[in-house]
Structure 1
Amino acid sequence: MSTTQSERLRELLEPLVSSQGLDLEEIEVDSVGRKRVLRVVVDSDEGADLDAIADVSRALSAKLDETDAMGQGEYTLEVGTPGAERELKEHRHYVRATGRLVKFQLGDSDELIARIITVDDEGVDVEVPGVKGRKPTARRLAFEDIAKARVQVEFNRKDKKDEKDMEEEEA
């Protein structure tokens, strides 16, 4: 049974990332000219701040240096987080995106933009924003009906904490 370099790297690095309190989301090895780049994407339920990224980067670098997992050639290690418009693939991704606006590509090629309200083992409950003054509507999406889902960036969305603070100031 043959395993790819990415699979071998995942087996080597995932326990180390987990020990740092993070989830290993992606591993990608790219060739850039004569050099190779190892991109490692990590995250957690609370997010990963710069200190956590730096800590896990140092730990991964040390582990890679003591093994021959990347071979003898030069490579660059890049460690980061999934980014603002992450694709939702795992159940935990949907849970982490609760409260966020998501663009869903549904199995029948329909698109839907809605806010995730709750997540369970079978699917997600979402709120579809109202159009032209109409009230938002609730909808249930089963995971099996979702072909693709990606978090959308919202530049002027008020955070629930901000709304609560504003209500307290008005009172």
Structure 2
Amino acid sequence: MTDSTTPRPTPGDAGVPDAIVPDTKDWTWVLRERCPECGFAAAQVEVPDVGAAVRDSLPRWRAVLARPDARERPEPGVWSPLEYGAHVRDVFRIFDERLGLMLSQDDPLFANWDQDVAAIEGGYASQDPARLAHELEESGAVVADRFDGVDPADVGRVGRRSDGSQFTVRTLGQYFLHDIVHHLYDVRA
């Protein structure tokens, strides 16, 4: 992240694609309801299911990133499959960190993460698809292993997002997995 004295790249700068309309929805509702877009029912997921589901998603992401249209945005203001892949790689990393905090601290407060700023500052649109596929698989394996290692006695441990939303290890896994599944839906994989 940059501090207030570092200028941020903005849409229209060299290598920075057109702006994406920020997603400001509170997606925690997926913990209670089936997602009408992707069909995922997060409430049915248990912590031991998360690691295997992440691993099952990895070949699909590799295939998405190998597509000839991976760099193309389907319409203005919508991420390309490449940008979604970079986002998911970072989601793997962020949730691995958050799960680690929940397992090692009492009621940690998670650092804010702005996915739209991360996309611009991380150059999601200019990633190398083959390298990204490798990074995504590596990060996915790490977070899958961490979910596999959760002791059943720890599924109720809590942590909080900077907006005040509280998660247990179980609901964090459910919320996280919805994000991965939903983005596969977004890229038609």
Check whether TM > 0.5.
Answer: no
TM-score (norm 2): 0.24
- Rg larger for: 1
TM-score (norm 1): 0.26
Higher helix share: 2
